[in-house]
């Protein structure tokens, strides 16, 4: 069965203010938080992954393992990353619009436990009549979220720290909500306490 041609937009341009250091470079499970997240995206059925980073990001968080898969990803430098997450989403969408993708999956670089199977299921469910498909855990809708191209222009209107969830909320969840029961997959690491919990979970895997 032929599935939709979907691009991933991985948001990796945050300032890690709450962590106090570059969280994507922190070690977890023999790799880094950023590389673990990217590795899962690259192992999925996404056709291409656009990694949106700050301008002149040295990419210290990227391990040799993921660098060897460079044919499947493209680094997008975002000079306006400091103005908020919306500018990273814009930068990613603008890249996706340059090619003929059927949809764009917006995902976070600080979700190292996101299962490849969840990404693939979103892609498998998707069709051109669905405005978006959002994952949901414990009643909370959160990335990854897959958007139909007819919503790209709305994504380009996001401001400041608005994220993709703002579009979902504005549409009263009038898309496809995929309920998931794996808490770890949606665990994003923002603080030192988050990181401690993540390491405990990793030890149990």
Mean pLDDT, residues 140-164 taken together: 95
Q: Is the separation of the CB atoms in 12 and 58 below 8 Å?
A: no
Q: Which residue has the higher pLDDT, 204 or 62?
A: 62
Average pLDDT, the chain: 93
| Whole-structure pTM value | 0.95
pLDDT in tens, 39-79: 999 999 999 999 999 999 999 999 999 999 999 999 999 99
Mean pLDDT, residues 139-152 taken together: 94
Pairing of strands 140-147, 103-108: antiparallel
Assign 3-state DSSP to the chain and report helix, strand, coil percentages, each to 5: 35, 25, 40
Does 18 have pLDDT greater than 80?
no
- % of the chain exceeding 90 in pLDDT: 78
H helix or E strand, kind and range, residue 65? helix 64-67
User: Which CATH superfamily includes the segment(s) 6-199?
Assistant: Spore Coat Polysaccharide Biosynthesis Protein SpsA; Chain A (3.90.550.10)
Contacts of 78 (CB under 8 A, 6+ apart): 13, 52, 53, 54, 55, 87, 88, 91
Report domain extents, the chain. Answer: 6-199
In whole angstroms, what is the distance from residue 64 CA to residue 62 CA?
7
């Amino acid at each position: 069965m032929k599935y939709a041609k979907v691009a991933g937009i991985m948001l990796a341009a945050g300032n890690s203010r709450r962590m106090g250091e570059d969280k994507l470079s922190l070690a977890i499970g023999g790799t880094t938080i950023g590389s673990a997240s990217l590795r899962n995206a690259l192992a999925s059925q996404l056709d291409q992954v656009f990694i949106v980073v700050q301008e002149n990001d040295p990419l210290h968080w990227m391990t040799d393992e993921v660098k060897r898969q460079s044919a499947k990803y493209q680094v997008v430098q975002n000079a306006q990353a400091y103005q908020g997450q919306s500018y990273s989403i814009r930068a990613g969408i603008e890249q996706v619009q340059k090619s003929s993708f059927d949809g764009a999956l917006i995902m976070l670089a600080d979700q190292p436990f996101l299962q490849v199977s969840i990404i693939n299921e979103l892609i498998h469910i998707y069709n051109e009549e669905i405005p978006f498909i959002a994952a949901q855990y414990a009643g909370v809708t959160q990335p990854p979220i897959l958007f139909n191209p007819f919503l790209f222009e709305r994504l380009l209107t996001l401001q400041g720290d608005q994220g993709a969830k703002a579009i979902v909320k504005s549409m009263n969840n009038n898309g496809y909500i995929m309920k998931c029961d794996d808490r770890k997959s949606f665990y994003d690491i923002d603080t030192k306490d988050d990181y401690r919990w993540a390491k405990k979970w990793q030890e149990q895997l």
